[in-house]
Structure 1
Amino acid sequence: MRNTGGERVDEAVASAVALLRTATDRDWEQVRARGLEWSCRMTAVHIAECLVGYAGQLTGRAADGYVPFEISLEEGTGNEGALRVIEAMGGLLSATVRTTPRDVRAFHSYPFRSANREGFAAMGIAEVLLHTHDIAHGLGLDYEPPAETVSYVLTRIFPDVRPGPAPWPTLLWATGRGELPGRAPVTEWRWHNNLVIGGDRLTLEGITPASAADLAVGGDGGFTWAGDGPFEGTREGAGIMVKQYEEGLLRPEWGMFALVRREDDRAVGAMGFHGPPDEDGRVEIGYDLVEAARGHGFATEALRALSAWALAREDVTSVFARTEPGNTASQRVLARAGFTRVAADGEEPAYELRG
């Protein structure tokens, strides 16, 4: 799956600026953007601040906070000048997303305190699209950005939002700016960057709906894979995750994780939950590795890390796993990770790790 974040940033900025240029002769200072305390002028400056701020997080490799800077327009800058600043800041984010290595993450407060280049691209695009909508409404303009650009945002930082009949109305509804038939109004919202869990030799990277969709149809999901690529179970799991997303049942932190080897940034397998904890606090887990990565303890390391993350939550009391009767290698992995064999629901051996 090719890194298209820079292209999507360019598309978002171009669509926004093209519309707003039709109204540069208006007084943006005296008109308030829809739903905000800011004027249209201040909202335009905010868009530029977000674009360069997200670029700064990535280029500065910010680890535990926001890079401390802000921008301001020169005195006497008109509306056209403000749009030129948006274009310039958009270009900085676009170039940064194109050149930042895939494994780099930088600080962002919500929800898991970091984001990768796709996350920052999606957040920057969201700021452009949504606040251009706010400005346009204040100025009495109609705005609808490219559908693929909106989908980029939804499938990367809104994984818990069930797709609607069209991307743009869905994003507006998900951010409290519109209505969708059959859905209650949204009064509070947050986007969701993917969860990342660190191990000794591996990083467990939460897979987004965009990556899952690519994996399910034979793609790489945006990862460089060891050996011959994803094993069959990874692609099947990705397909299940896509179905959960399409049905609005996906809980991002209870989804699927790519197991990425730190030494060479290659994915060696996948591990994930079958869904959120049940009413008894039990969560079921599954995994597989590419053949070239087996026998090195990667599955055991990942299983320990993901199980520890789950059991640290108040809503989880145990982690459960099943294996095929003849899969002794998987059974040894579970035993090394601290699981004990329990009575099976069917013919498959079952194992459990309790908090």
Structure 2
Amino acid sequence: MREMGGEQVEEAVAGCVAALRPAVDRDWAGVKAGRLEWSCRETAAHIAGDLIAYAGQLAGRAQHAYVPFEITLEGSGDGLDAADNPGILHVIETTGALLAAAVRTTPREVRAFHPYPFRSASREGFAAMGIAEVLLHTHDIAEGLGLAYEPSAELAESVLTRIFPHVQPGPTPWATLLWATGRGDLPGRAPVTAWRWNNNLVLPAGRLTLQGVTPAAARDLSLGGDGGFEWIDGGPFEGTREAAGMLVKAYEAGVHRPEWGVFALVRTEDGRAVGGMGFHGAPDEEGRAEVGYDLVEAARGQGYATEALRALARWALAREDVRSLFATVERDNIASQAVVSRAGFTRVDTDDEEFAYELLG
């Protein structure tokens, strides 16, 4: 799987500079950027500010808040009290290079603070957010200045499948991203007036972390790839690939809710994935959600599934929209029956092939 990283950040920034450079002799301060209240100049400064802020979060390993600094654009000693338009583009190039470098040098398992929705993001998440800021605000500036601009479909799709997992794909990735952020229309879909992107949820679970699988990772897993994870020998197992395929179908149908999808079980000691766990969908009207899981054969019998299921159940049952969790286990799968029992589930039903278990909130 091709991870979103420094190369994509650089591509987005290069596209921004190429699109805006023909208008550097124009008045950016006196023209609004598309539908925004900001001027084109303010929006360009905002791009640079976001890029350096995200680089700072990763480089500083910020855990609880933004690193307390901001960027200020100044003149170059020629009597100007503010940077000119070519200077602003140079700042965007520079801050983009810093984010690309931070993404490249940050270990995969590191997460840093971002306020929503789950208070953290990985290097891939920060790359995707930085790229989204560049693409969308370049569009805004270009619209205000009457310039043509359209990034590659691959870049727009990469953003959608990583930080817009709740957005159903549309006819083209770029048109979908513009619609999803209130900047355009799509046939048959209501206009968007409020939006946020969505980094994946990560839950601590003793020796493991449960890392939410994005649609991009799920598609790769379902096609036989590694989903961007480093697996122990023998992984991922068949059940994880099947669950990933179900996630992709839900995403394409527009019914995927990221926190109710699939999680990779990743060992904290070495960052290697040992299995998958997750939900068969969002809770129903009665607040009931079904869970499932599997482990790579080499990871079985070590208590990983029990630790992960306890953590996932604790998170789910703390929510107001969940009243109970449900799981089915084959009658001859003694090990899995032991896992759900140790996690607090109680057998509530049986048939010729399966036992049913429930855990009440």
TM-score class, shorter: over 0.9
The 8 Å contact of residues 8 and 152 in structure 1, kept in 2 or not, is answered as no
Amino acid at match of 1:155: T
Query: C-alpha distance in 1, partners of 2:241/2:87?
Result: 48
* Map 1:43-54 → 2, pairs under 5 A: 43-54=43-54
Match of 2:240 in 1: 234
Which residue of structure 1 aligns with residue 303 of structure 2? Answer: 297
CA distance in 2, matches of 1:108, 1:235: 29
One-letter amino acid matched to 2:54: Y
- Does residue 112 (structure 1) correspond to residue 89 (structure 2)? The answer is no
Structure 2, gaps ≥5 residues long: none
**Corresponding residue to 2:160 among 154, 157, 163:** 154
Residue of 268, 276, 281 corresponding to 1:270: 276
Q: Given residue 28 of structure 2, which amino acid in structure 1 is its aligned partner?
A: W
Instruction: Report the Cα distance in structure 2 between the residues aligned to 1:121 and 1:260, rounded to whole angstroms.
Output: 21
Secondary structure in 2 matching 1:351: strand
Deviations 1:20-43 (A, max 9, x none): 001001011111112222111111
Measure the CA separation in 1 of the matches of 2:116 and 2:347. 38
For normalisation by structure 2, the TM-score amounts to 0.97
CA 1:346–1:146: 2 relative to 1, 3 Å: farther
Contact 1:223 1:267 in 2 (8 A): yes
Contact 2:142 2:148 in 1 (8 A): yes
**Distance (whole Å) between structure 1 residues aligned to residue 230 and residue 12 of structure 2:** 28
Indicate the residue corresponding to 2:149 in structure 1.
Answer: 143
Size of the aligned set, in residue pairs, is 355
Does 2:266 correspond to 1:260?
A: yes
Closer, same or farther in 2 for the Cα pair 1:16/1:259, shift >3 Å?
same
- Give CA-to-partner distance per residue, 1:92-146, whole Å, 9 cap, x none: 1111111111100000001000000111001000100111111111101121111
Question: Which residue of 1 is the match for residue 98 of structure 2?
Answer: 92
Q: Which residue of 2 aligns with 1:313?
A: 319
User: Who is 1:211 aligned against?
Assistant: 217
| Corresponding position: 1:340 with 2:336 | no
Cα deviation, residue 226, structure 1: 1.1
Look up the match of 1:352. 358
* Offset of residue 345 of structure 1: 6.8
Q: Which amino acid aligns with 2:9?
A: V
Mapped partners of 1:246, 1:93: distance in 2: 31
Q: TM-score, normalised by structure 1?
A: 0.98
After the TM superposition, list the runs of 4 or more consecutive aligned residues in structure 1 that deviate by more than 6 angstroms.
none
1:22 aligned partner: 22
Deviation at 1:2, TM superposition (A): 3.6
1:195-238 per-residue CA deviation (whole Å, 9 max, x = no partner) reads: 01001111000000011011111111111111212000000110
Percent identity for Structure 1 against Structure 2: 71
Displacement of 1:346 in angstroms is: 6.8
State how far apart, in whole Å, the 2-side matches of 1:345 and 1:328 are: 16
**Distance in 1 between residues matched to 2:35 and 2:69, nearest whole Å:** 26
Structure 1 residues 250, 345: closer, same or farther in 2, change over 3 A? farther
Task: Name the CA distance, whole Å, in 1 between partners of 2:354 and 2:149.
Answer: 55
Contact 2:4 2:127 in 1 (8 A): no
Output the amino acid matched with 1:25.
D
Indicate if the aligned counterparts of 1:50 and 1:127 stay in contact, CA closer than 8 A: yes
1:326 aligned residue (326, 329, 332) = 332
Match of 2:203 in 1: 197
Other-structure match for 1:285: 291
Match of 2:11 in 1: 11
Aligned match of 2:257: 251
Whole-angstrom distance in 1 between the partners of 2:73 and 2:114: 25
